[in-house]
Amino acid sequence: MAWFCYRLIAPRPDFPAAMTPAEQAAMGAHGAYWAGQVAAGTAIAVGPVFAPEGAFGIGILQAETAEAAAAIVAADPVLTAGLGFGHRIDPMPSLLHR
């Protein structure tokens, strides 16, 4: 197994304070999707980060390969909704967790 850091990039600087109804719906589906990934053990941790330069989402994933991690991320409803969200996936050579 390998570890990966998933970063969800908001579509604009005022997100999430000024979400549109479509974004709200997509974020609801996004939360449900990642709750399922946590329950399945694929996602170790997920959540929003409210950084001074703007909000973003982060997830720590466990997958067999980078391609498998990319497939999990590609199915995120907020990305498939086509609302301008970006993302990146970076490998983590090791992970210490409880």
Q: 9-62 pLDDT, tens per residue?
A: 999 999 999 999 999 999 999 999 999 999 999 999 999 999 998 999 999 999
Whole-number Å distance between alpha carbons of 21 and 81: 12
Global pTM? 0.94
pLDDT of residue 98 exceeding 90: no
DSSP string computed for 43-89: EEEEEEEEETTEEEEEEEEEESSHHHHHHHHHT-HHHHTTSS-EEEE
Backbone angles phi, psi at 76, to 5 degrees: -60, 120
